Amino acid sequence: MNTLQAVVLGAVQGITEFLPISSSGHLVLLQSLWHIRSDGLLFVTLLHVGTLVAVCFVMRRELAALARNPLGWMGRMVLVALLPTFVMGAVFEEFFDGLFQSPVTLGFEFVITGVVLWWMDTVANGDKLEADMTASDAFWIGVLQGVAIFPALSRSGLTIAAGLWRGLDKEAAGRFSFLLSIPAILGATLVELEEWLEAPSHATGLALGPAAAGVVAAALAGYLSAKGTLWVLKRSRMRVFAVYVWALAAFVFADQLFWHHWFPPLW
C-alpha cells in the first residue's frame, strides 16, 4: 500500500464514519477494488484512532459534562445503549468476522442502508432532547448500533434513525449517535489491537509514512464529516446519500452477477 492509497483509505474512513453511508462498507469496497488488505489489522486500528480523535473534539462539551457527572442521567443512558451493542457483538463475533472476510452480502447491506436514509427524510422532527430520553429509547438505539456491525449497514444511519423513531429531535439524535460512537470506536480499536498483538505478522509491510498520512486524513475528514452530518440531518437531505449507497449496491451486484472481478458471486 502506498501513501496515496493510505490517504484515500484514511479520508474515506473519516468521512464515512459519521456520514450515514457506512465506513466499514466503503473500506471493504475499496480494498476489494484495489486488491489490497490495507496491510492488516494495525492500519485499520490506526484509522480508528484518527476518527476517535475527531469525534472526541466535536463532542468535547458533552464529554466534559459526562466527566463531571459520569453517573448522571446521560451517563446512564449511554450505558443502557451500550449493553445490547456489547451483547450482540460478543454473541455474533465469528459470524460478523466472516462477513468481513467474504463480503458476499455487501450489496444487500447498502440497499438496506439506503432504505433507512430515505425513510429518515420522511419522519417529522421529534421534540425530545437528550435529557428527555428514556431507558427504552437508549436500549433500542443500542440494538440498532449492534445490528450495524454488518459491513455496509451504517452505524450512524441506524442509530440516528432509531433516535428519530423514538421521537428525538434530529440534532439530538445525531449528537447521541456521535456520543455512542466514542465507546464503539474505542472498543473496536482495542479489539483490533488485541488481535494484532496476538498475530503481529499481519502488520508486515506497514510503513510509518503511509500509516501516519492515513491517520491524519482520517482525523481531518472525520471532523468535517461529523459537523457536516449534523448540518445535513437538520435540513432533511438524507435522500442524497440514499441514492448514493443504492448506486454502490448496483455496482456490487453487477460485479457479482456479470463481471466476477472484485466481489464474491451471489451464488
The residue segments making up the domain with residue 13 are: 3-259
In a domain, 264, yes or no: no
Residues 6+ apart with CB under 8 A from 158: 113, 116, 144, 145, 147, 148
In a domain, 266, yes or no: no
Are the C-beta atoms of 214 and 10 separated by less than 8 Å? yes
In a domain, 186, yes or no: yes
In a domain, 265, yes or no: no
* pLDDT one-digit tens code per residue, 212-227: 899 999 999 999 999 9
pLDDT at 135: 95
pTM, entire model: 0.85
Phi, psi of 172, rounded to the nearest 5 degrees:
-65, -40
In a domain, 158, yes or no: yes
Confidence of residue 80 (pLDDT cuts 50, 70, 90): very high
Question: Mean pLDDT, to the nearest integer, of 59-85?
Answer: 92
In a domain, 213, yes or no: yes
Question: Mean pLDDT, to the nearest integer, of 194-220?
Answer: 74
Angle at 241 between CA 10 and CA 210, to 5 degrees: 5
Are the C-beta atoms of 52 and 189 separated by less than 8 Å? yes
What's the per-residue H, E or C state across 119-174? Answer: HHCCCCCCCECHHHCCHHHHHHHHHHHHHCCCCCCCHHHHHHHHHHHCCECHHHHH
Q: How far is CA 72 from CA 107, 174, 263, in A?
A: 41, 20, 47
Cell (9 digits) for 27: 473500506
Angle at 47 between CA 45 and CA 51, to 5 degrees: 115
Q: What is the mean pLDDT of the chain?
A: 85
Q: Evaluate if residue 38 carries a pLDDT over 50.
A: no
Closest CA to 54 of 214, 226, 180, 187: 226
Q: Give dist(CA 163, CA 153) in Å, integer.
A: 16
In a domain, 267, yes or no: no
In a domain, 221, yes or no: yes
Half-sphere exposure (Cβ direction) of 142: Cα atoms closer than 13 Å: 22
Q: Give dist(CA 141, CA 159) in Å, integer.
A: 5
Question: Mean pLDDT, to the nearest integer, of 144-156?
Answer: 87
197 against 153, higher pLDDT? 153
Q: How many domains does the chain have?
A: 1
Are the C-beta atoms of 51 and 218 separated by less than 8 Å? yes
Q: Evaluate if residue 203 carries a pLDDT over 60.
A: no
